[in-house]
Structure 1
Amino acid sequence: MKGIAVTLFVLLYALVTMFGLGPVLLADGSRSERMMTLAVVVVIYICITIAMWRTLTWLKRRS
């Protein structure tokens, strides 16, 4: 079960990196637009990290 959870979170990190950081690095918008997108991407990374930590902790206590 832990392996499935880790695989899911790795997939989520990869998707956020591909679809989140791509527009930040390659966008032709204004600097403030890219910074706003970067802030949103960082918040998403933080949320995924907290969810992963809680899930792995829950799985460890459950077994």
Structure 2
Amino acid sequence: MRWFVYTLFALLYLLITFFGVGPVLLADGSSVERIITLVIVVCIYILLTIVLYFIKKRLRIS
């Protein structure tokens, strides 16, 4: 079960990095648009990390 949780979250982190940070770095919009996208991506990272923490705590995965 532990390997499944870690594989799933690794895949989610990779997808967020690819589809989230890519537009921040390569967008041709304004600086404000890039900053808003960056804030949203960072919030998604924080939310995903909190969910992983609670899943690890509930399943007692070290």
Q: Same fold (TM over 0.5)?
A: yes
Structure with more relative contact order (C-alpha pairs < 8 Å, separation 6 or more): 1
Task: Count residues in correspondence.
Answer: 61
Structure 2: segments with no counterpart, 5+ residues: none
Q: Deviations over 1:7-26 (max 9, x none)?
A: 10000000000000000000
Measured after TM superposition, the shift of residue 3 of structure 1 is: 0.9
Length-normalised TM-score, structure 1: 0.93
User: Where do 4+ consecutive residues of structure 1 move more than 2 Å?
Assistant: none
Length-normalised TM-score, structure 2: 0.95
Structure 1: segments with no counterpart, 5+ residues: none
The percent of aligned pairs where both chains have the same amino acid is 52
